Structure 1
Amino acid sequence: MRVTLERSNLLKSLNHVHRVVERRNTIPILSNVLLRAGDGRLQLKATDLDLEITEATPAEIGQAGATTVPAHLLYDIVRKLPDGSEVELSTNGENTAMSVSSGRSKFSLQCLPETDFPDLTAGTFSHGFDLPAPQLKMLIDRTQFAISTEETRYYLNGIYLHTIEGEGTLSLRAVATDGHRLARAEVEAPMGSEGMPGIIIPRKTVGEVQKLVDNPELTVRVEISDAKIRLSLGDIVMTSKLIDGTFPDYQRVIPAGNDKQMTIDCAEFARAVDRVSTISSERGRAVKLSIADGQLTLTVHNPDSGSAVEELHVGYEADPLDIGFNARYLLDITNQLAGSQAVFMLADPGSPTLIHDMAGDAALYVLMPMRV
């Protein structure tokens, strides 16, 4: 194999694929990236056996071929080469070593055979649809912060994506929860998503997709089976296993009878929560909200360091209420709100609170209170 290409093109593709590779691997081939040269393109592929990313980039092919080399090592080498340089990758006759040359720099990397590299893309996909990148980005951005990191409840370690019938419309809905808060967002269901199975996309896959959907002009091809999801974003193809589990009936935790309405200015509220939570301990990040007659008083009391109080004007005309929340959870939610104002629908100090964005996008949040 011998191939020459722009350093910037190679770095961009390596940046996308090398993140999948775990730094510590008991299986040597999983530390490597597969390089396949042919038809005027260099294809790069990396996998951790649960997630696989493939990307092709234009290249001048001197000799077609394929090999695998350490992913993080190749990425670090290319990253440190000068801007605007060209890189030549070539293997020796036995395919046991690959030379990386650019200007006066030359490196030699050990190779492992291409035939040892695992393939995750086998299998057929029962459903496929096209989704504009901004819509996919919105679904992920509004929900990913609520994904659980608790490994024992593995079925909560991802975003639940499914279709749901509304009033004469079909919506594609994303939901995430960790038991303390729940985030839900939806868009109009695209053609081809009808009848798709409800799937749980793992946290690592969600994080990688989130980094790749920045281009608002992009349309993402989504293909789904019971066990896998494949996303095609331009020259990048990502295939991932799904979480094999049943997502709980989240509808049961969304309160329907909350009748106390508080309207807040999102930015003002977030800054106030951030300021008073400075005094809270890492263990107990509770902030108390006392609401009465259009005024909100935020209070944090930490026996080890002191207390903090801040007052805000809010829209509230119901009976006075004291309720406590985890300050970090409040900030996580307010950071997702697209509008300048949000509505808190409250019931009592022990019941979950419903939070709506006034911007009009179909996202809602449920937050469990804390004892204060």
Structure 2
Amino acid sequence: MTKKASGASATRSFEIDAPSLRAGLKDVGDIVEKRTTIPLLSNVLMTVSPTALVLSGTDLDSWGERHVTLDGDADPMRITVHAGTLAKIADKLTASDRVRLALTDGKLTVSAGRSRFTLPTLPADDFPNAPDKAWDSEFEIPAINLGAALSTVAFATSTDETRYYLGGVLVHAQHGDLRFAATDGHRLARGIVALPDGAATLPDIIVPSKVVKVLTTLLGRYEGQVTVRACSSAVAFEIGETTLQAKVIDGTFPDYARVIPTQYDGLLKVDRETLVAAVNRVTTVSSDKVRAVKLSIRHDAIALSVSSPEHGTGDEEIPCEWSGSPLTIGFNSRYLLEIMAHMTAIEVEATFTDPKGPVLWRDREGSPATFVIMPMQV
């Protein structure tokens, strides 16, 4: 495939179908830095052999790598090109397009049908590789189980940079389970799956929020087993032809189990969709400053109310089952709705101690997903 033109450097090239190029770039694209003062970090590394294209991206804290099979006639090369630009080109090609990528004099020409693009490149030798690690734990877990557990808790991670150790999901082995937890100090989410073989030696690790987001996207596109490797400073996930490796957060996650109530004075059972619809309606009058919704709970009904000086009041009553004495309590409505969005049962339940104590929400007793929310003063 190599061609030589008089007075010019050798042209090296390869061909790939548009869907394979698009899928490969999508798998590493979310890792690549979108805004950076280091141009190389905005690029994707393309390592080409006769039979494979390896696409790599990094932000120096995480590394993504995707293998794509080629037809065996490609010219070996290593180049980096702007990831976002190449991805946009790939996205606009049709599924039937055959794409030719040719490197000449430091320029990458991308041709498909009657379209032709010429892109600048940067040297591949300076591209940062993922560091080698001695892994303490290695195990396999179904992609659907890992993705569901991460998705269940990720919404509760903190965005407060001063509490950086809350900016990710804690993954650890405990009581014969693999547990996932996230909290921002106002709400807590915990998920539990069966402990995979080999996971008992897993060190407690905090997976950064960005990595969790990328990971859940990858897992959503994959069916099968995921290989997980971890040590105290890093974690790696092998998802089919894609590998994601990342530094973990260097910090100590709080003992979140202490926040989860184990005793209660009242048990509430309520239809989840009915509660969500009612909260959405009464908060129509909420403002950005006032997000509290008040719940006045009695034996067979919950009276929901919202009051805003700017927009007025909203009230609604819905049926429920309540085992305790009458109770009035307030919640941040957005937090309450986010918790409801990650529950699945038709009828959910919550346990209460007092108007100021943490409230536990779950689909049912013994549910693998548990949510805790702190009340607001109303």
Normalising by structure 1, report the TM-score. 0.96
* 1:97 paired residue number: 107
The CA deviation at 1:268 is: 1.0
Distance 1:104 1:314 in 2: 64
Alignment of 1:131-170 (within 5 A): 131-165=141-175, 170=176
Whether contact under 8 Å (1:89, 1:98) holds in the other structure is yes
- The question of 1:42 aligning with 2:53 is answered yes
SS of match in other structure, 2:32 = coil
Tell me how many residue pairs correspond in the alignment: 366
Flag as ranges the 4+ runs of structure 1 deviating above 4 A.
none
Return closer, same or farther for 1:91/1:133 CA change in 2, 3 Å cut-off: same
Alignment of 1:168-207 (within 5 A): 170-207=176-213
Distance 1:121 1:103 in 2: 40
Whether contact under 8 Å (2:49, 2:74) holds in the other structure is no
SS of match in other structure, 1:263 = strand
Distance 2:94 2:227 in 1: 35
Out of 287, 293, 306, the position equivalent to 1:300 is 306
**What is the aligned-residue identity percentage?**
38
Out of 100, 109, 116, the position equivalent to 1:88 is 100
- The question of 1:222 aligning with 2:222 is answered no
The CA deviation at 1:361 is: 3.9
Q: Which moved more, 1:285-294 or 1:78-87?
A: 78-87
* 1:352 paired residue number: 358
The CA deviation at 1:58 is: 2.0
* 1:23 paired residue number: 34
Distance 2:345 2:88 in 1: 41
Deviations 1:61-107 (A, max 9, x none): 33111110010011111112233101011111x4x111111111111
* 1:125 paired residue number: 135
* 1:339 paired residue number: 345
* 2:23 paired residue number: 12
Distance 1:188 1:80 in 2: 42
The CA deviation at 1:247 is: 0.3
Out of 247, 256, 270, the position equivalent to 1:264 is 270
* 2:369 paired residue number: 363
Whether contact under 8 Å (1:90, 1:99) holds in the other structure is yes
Letter aligned with residue 186 of structure 2: H
Alignment of 1:104-115 (within 5 A): 104-115=114-125
Letter aligned with residue 52 of structure 1: W
The CA deviation at 1:359 is: 8.7
SS of match in other structure, 1:9 = helix
Return closer, same or farther for 1:59/1:187 CA change in 2, 3 Å cut-off: same
Letter aligned with residue 49 of structure 1: L
The CA deviation at 1:59 is: 2.1
* 2:284 paired residue number: 278
The CA deviation at 1:358 is: 2.5
Whether contact under 8 Å (2:28, 2:57) holds in the other structure is yes
Q: Which moved more, 1:171-180 or 1:17-26?
A: 17-26
Distance 2:366 2:276 in 1: 20
Whether contact under 8 Å (2:79, 2:123) holds in the other structure is yes
Letter aligned with residue 114 of structure 1: A
